[in-house]
Amino acid sequence: MNYLLPVRLDRLAREYALGTLAGPARRRFERVVRSSAAASMAVDVWRRRLSVLDLAAAPVQPPESTWHGIERRLFSGPNQSASTATPIGGALQALRVGMEPRFDALPASYVGVLLDPVGKAALVASSRRQGRQLTVKLLQPLNVPAGHVAQLWALPKDGAAPFPVGVIYRATQIALRDLDSRTLHDLGLDRSEISSIAAEVAHIHAELGSAFSDDDGEYRGHLRSFIPIPRRAGA
Amino acid sequence: MPATESLPELLARVALRDRRAFEGLYRATSAHLFSVSLRILRNEGRADEVLQESYVSIWHHAAGYHAAAGTPMTWMINIVRNKSIDLLRARRTEVASTTEIGDEALNVAADSAGEPQRLLDDSLIKAKIAECMGTLSSQQRQALALAYYRGMVHTDIASALNAPLGTAKGWVRRGLDQLKSCLEAAGVSGV
């Protein structure tokens, strides 16, 4: 059966999202969703529609033992420090606390968060494999106008013109090895720069911007701060 | 539904293995997610089990969240719904081959999670599409509510509403078509 015929896909997606798709058909379609972006998107569309049915749901507080059970499953015991932590602050502060960078070891990778104009996390960019690949995840919709694409831009530290790094569509992986060594340095992903970045986490080493580019690649929109955070080696 | 201002940030930090953010996410969302599971499973013990499994899954898969899946709450609700539906159907299969179903927590579910159709109607009012959805018959809206809130399949709905299977399928299909039309007319793409 060709699950990806538009009419059939929409019917399966909505029955799956609603829950009325059952038995082996449900399992088969789950496999299709895992392997097909079109199927995954079709399910997402219906889940968003159906989510309005949760607007009036009255919350029911679970027993406190539920949280302890989750902690036992994940961490083999309650985390006292987490329970007595101070309230959550800005994204940078939270990342500082949460990542606990080890300054005595060379980090294997980086995580950076792009903030929107009001300071909320909008995009996570992480680099593993010794900085040869940048993985980008969207945390909120970019609301890209029709006929445009969302383009990740790099702003060189030396004040040179911004240049495009890659088009962002949902989760994206960008091969940084295609960029030259000067670019890597300016993005703060050059391994030779890791020590200095790790020593001063709050230092904004470079800026990346989530902005729109039109068909001829012209830069439009606002750059936003990109804060490179050293990630614990092996994390 | 709880306020969602900080959920994207919390989830982003959970993706970075921040345990403090994970507890914050749990405190902000667990009551809502527990009610989702309770409505489907109608048993506190099993809903508790699903809730724990769901947060374990959220911890492991937070990095897989993407904005196209809806809000973080929508993404998490679907994790809980899927696990609840899986457990409900696995348990039905198991119970059918051993003993009769002991629905020991019906009262809890009825009181604390709300009746399906009332919940549907209230949600449609909040979504400002109640008038548009009002063109559906009561049975059509009830069929949609039983599917979404109780995890019922078409045969369950047909039995519950004392209707032929084909009729029940038609009610659900018509309900979904109308929901889509009403949301598009209202310019709502989902919360």
Query: Quick one: pLDDT at residue A225?
Result: 37
Q: Chain B partners of A137 at a C-beta cutoff of 8 Å?
A: 15, 63, 65-66
User: Do the chains contact at A19 and B31, CB–CB below 8 Å?
Assistant: no
pLDDT range class, residue B65, cuts 50, 70, 90: confident
In degrees, rounded to 5, the angle at the alpha carbon of residue A114 between the alpha carbons of residues A201 and B55 is 90
Number of neighbouring beta carbons within 10 Å of residue A30: 15
User: A7: which chain B residues are within 8 Å (Cβ-Cβ)?
Assistant: none
**Chain B interface, mutation test: which of A48, A54, A102, most B Cβ atoms within 10 Å?**
A54
| B167 vs A: CB within 8 A | no
Distance from the Cα of A214 to chain B's closest Cα (Å) equals 22
Which candidate from B12, B15, B147 shows the least CB-CB separation from A18? Answer: B147
DSSP state of A104: T
Q: Which residue among A53, A74, A88 places its CB closest to the CB of B148?
A: A53
Query: Residue A86, SS3?
Result: coil
Task: Using the predicted structure, report yes or no on whether residue A170 has a pLDDT greater than 60.
Answer: no
CB of B177 within 8 Å of a chain A CB? The answer is: no
Q: Which residue of A has its CA nearest to B156?
A: A20
Cα B41 to Cα B1: distance, rounded to the nearest angstrom: 20
Would you state the pLDDT for residue A172? 56
Mutation site for B-interface testing, chosen from A70, A80, A83, A118 by largest number of B Cβ within 10 Å: A70
Residues from chain A contacting residue B151 (CB–CB below 8 Å): 19
For residues A109 and B63, give the distance between their C-alpha atoms in angstroms, rounded to a whole number.
Answer: 16
- Above 60 in pLDDT, residue A176? no
- Contacts for A32 with CB less than 8 Å, ≥ 6 apart: A3, A4, A12, A39
- Which percentage of chain B shows pLDDT scores above 70? 84
pLDDT tens figures, A23-32: 889 999 998 9
pLDDT (tens digit, 9 = 90+) per residue, A51-98?
A: 999 999 899 999 999 999 999 999 874 444 343 322 222 222 222 222
With bands split at pLDDT 50, 70 and 90, how would you rate the model's confidence at A10?
very high
φ/ψ of residue A123, rounded to 5: -160, 140
Q: Cβ–Cβ of B122/A47 closer than 8 Å?
A: no
The ipTM assigned to this model is 0.86
CB contact under 8 A, A48 and B74: yes
Task: Give me the helices (H) in chain B, please.
Answer: 7-15, 19-41, 44-61, 72-96, 106-113, 116-126, 130-133, 138-150, 154-160, 165-186
What is the pLDDT, as a whole number, of residue A160? Answer: 52
Is the model's pTM score more than 0.90? no
Task: Residue B17: list chain A partners with CB under 8 A.
Answer: 98, 235
pLDDT given at position A125: 65
> Residue B57, SS3?
helix
- Measure B94 CA to nearest chain A CA, in Å: 14
How do residues A207-233 score in pLDDT, each as one tens digit?
Answer: 333 333 333 333 333 333 333 333 333
To the nearest whole angstrom, how far is the Cα of A47 from the nearest Cα of chain B?
A: 7
Rounded CA separation A163/A170 (Å): 21
A53 contacts in chain B (CB < 8 Å): 119-120, 123-124, 145, 148-149
